[in-house]
Amino acid sequence: MAVQVGFSLAAAGAAFHVARSDADTARAALTRTTVNRDVQLRFPGDWRRASADLSVAALGLDDAIVLTLGRAGGSTLMAGLSPATGATLLTPALRRRLAQAPRPVSVRLGAHNAQHFADLRLRDSTRSMTVFVVPTTRGALTLACLAAPRDVATVRDVCHRVAQTMRPRHGRALALGPSSRYQADLNELLGTLDATRVDRRAKLASARTAAKQARLADELSSAYAEARVVGSGERVSPREADAHRRIIAAIDEAGAAYERLGNAAGSASVTRYDRARAAVTNAERRVRAALAALAGLGYAPAATHPAHGS
C-alpha cells in the first residue's frame, strides 16, 4: 500500500495576476475599511453595510460582512470565513444552486493564493456571481460579489480590486496546490503502516494455528489503529480536508476488519474466518481508493497493490 504523493503541475491551473489601473482607482477608489472577526477589506465609498443577503446562507459565511450598491435586492458584496472543504472550496449548498459546475482559476491576491470563479450563475437569480476563495488555517476565506444585470461591469471591477485588499485577521493563508508538508507526513504515516502490514500479512498467510492467526490479526489491527490516531492529528488545508477524512475513515475500517479477523480466528469457525478475511480485503481496497482520490487535488499517488494471503 506504500504511496508516494507527488506534485502534478498540470492540476494547479493557469495562474494570472489581477491588476488595477489608474482609471479604475479614479472611478471607484477604495476609501473605506471594514472588518469582522475573520477578515479585513477596503471598499468604495458608494457601497454601504447591509443586513445579510439570502445568498449568505448558501455561501456558509460566518459573521459575514455584507455590502450593497444601491437599493435592496441589487448588487451585493459579501465576505467572511466559510467551512467549505474540497477542491472548489465552495459549500455543497452553493454548488447545488449553480446552473453549471464551477471551474476555478488560480490567481494571486497580493501575498495570497486564491481560487477565482467568474460569472457564476445561480439557478434562482438573475444576478451573476464572482467569487474569490483563499484557503487558510481557520477555513476558506471567501469574497463573493453578486451583480444585478445593470451593474455587471461595475461590480466585476470592484470585486477584483476589493479582493486584492482582503486579509485574514486570524490564522494564515495556505497554498492552493499540493502541500509538500502534507505529502511528507502522509508518506511517513503510510510507510510506517506498510512496514508492519507487509510483514504481518506474509506471516499470516503461512500461519498454521488459530492462536498465531489471531495474534497476527491483532497486531495488524493495532497498526491500523495507530495510523488512524496519527492521521487524525494531521493539520490539513480545507482543500485536502475531505480527502483526508476519507483516508482516515478507510484506515479505521481496515483496523476494525482485522480485529474481526482476529476474533474469527479465535472462534475456530472456518465460515466466520473466511467472511472476516473478505471484509479485510474490501477494507484495504477502500484505503487504496481513498488514497487514489488525492489525484483530483494534484497529487500523484504511485500504483499500489494489495497484499496476498491471510
Average pLDDT, the chain: 85
User: Residues 160, 198: one domain?
Assistant: no
Is 5 contained in some domain? no
- Are residues 163 and 192 both part of a single domain? no
Question: What is the CA 287 to chain-centroid distance, rounded?
Answer: 18
Number of domains forming the structure of the chain: 2
Query: Does the pLDDT at position 12 exceed 80?
Result: no
pLDDT at 300 over 80: no
Q: DSSP assignment, residue 138?
A: T
- Residue 301's pLDDT band (cuts 50, 70, 90): low
Same domain as 163, residue 189: no
Q: State the pLDDT at residue 56.
A: 74
- Helices 238-267, 270-292: axis angle to 10 degrees equals 170
What is the model's pLDDT at position 187? 92
Confidence of residue 55 (pLDDT cuts 50, 70, 90): low
- For residue 78, being part of any structural domain is answered with yes
Distance (Å, whole) CA 36 – CA 65: 7
Give a yes or no: residue 10 inside a domain. no
Which positions ≥6 away from 20 have C-beta within 8 Å?
A: 160, 161, 164
120 and 237 co-located in one domain: no
Q: Check if the beta carbon of residue 40 is closer than 8 Å to that of residue 34.
A: yes
Of all residues in the chain, what percent carry a pLDDT higher than 90?
64
Is 86 among the domain residues? yes
Q: Which tens digits make up the pLDDT trace of 223-259? A: 999 999 999 999 899 999 999 999 999 999 999 999 9
Which of the residue ranges 7-11, 103-107, 197-201 would you say has the lowest mean pLDDT?
7-11
What tens digit of pLDDT does each residue of 40-50 get?
Answer: 999 999 999 88
Output 92 or 23, whichever has higher pLDDT. 92
What is the C-alpha R_g of the chain?
25
pLDDT in tens, 143-195: 999 998 888 999 999 999 999 999 999 888 998 888 888 999 999 999 999 99
Q: Domain end: 147, 168, 189, which one?
A: 168
> Is residue 304 scored above 60 in pLDDT?
no
Q: Say whether both 204 and 238 belong to one domain.
A: yes
- Those residues whose C-beta lies under 8 Å from the C-beta of residue 270, and which sit 6 or more positions away, are none
Cβ(91)–Cβ(83) below 8 Å: yes
Q: What is the CATH number of the domain that holds 105?
A: 3.40.1000.10
Residue 2, in any domain of the structure: no
Task: Identify each DSSP E strand in the chain by its residue range.
Answer: 15-17, 32-35, 39-43, 48-49, 62-69, 75-82, 105-109, 112-121, 128-136, 139-147, 167-168
- Is a pLDDT exceeding 80 seen at residue 36? yes
> CB–CB of 125/74 below 8 Å?
no
The last residue of one of the domains, among 168, 195, 219, is 168
* pLDDT, average across residues 22-35: 70
Report, as an integer, the average pLDDT of 12-25: 36
Residues 57-67 have a mean pLDDT of 89
pLDDT for residue 9 is more than 80: no
At which of 104, 139, 168 does a domain end? 168
Residues 95 and 132 occupy one common structural domain: yes
Residue 275 confidence (pLDDT) above 70: yes
**pLDDT mean over 123-129:** 86
Residues 68 and 146 grouped into a single domain: yes
Domain containing 255 equals: 180-297
Both 72 and 153 in one domain: the answer is: yes
**Alpha carbon distances (Å) from 280 to 8, 149, 190, 221, 231:** 31, 57, 17, 10, 20
What pLDDT sits at residue 72?
59
Cell 509538500 appears where? 180
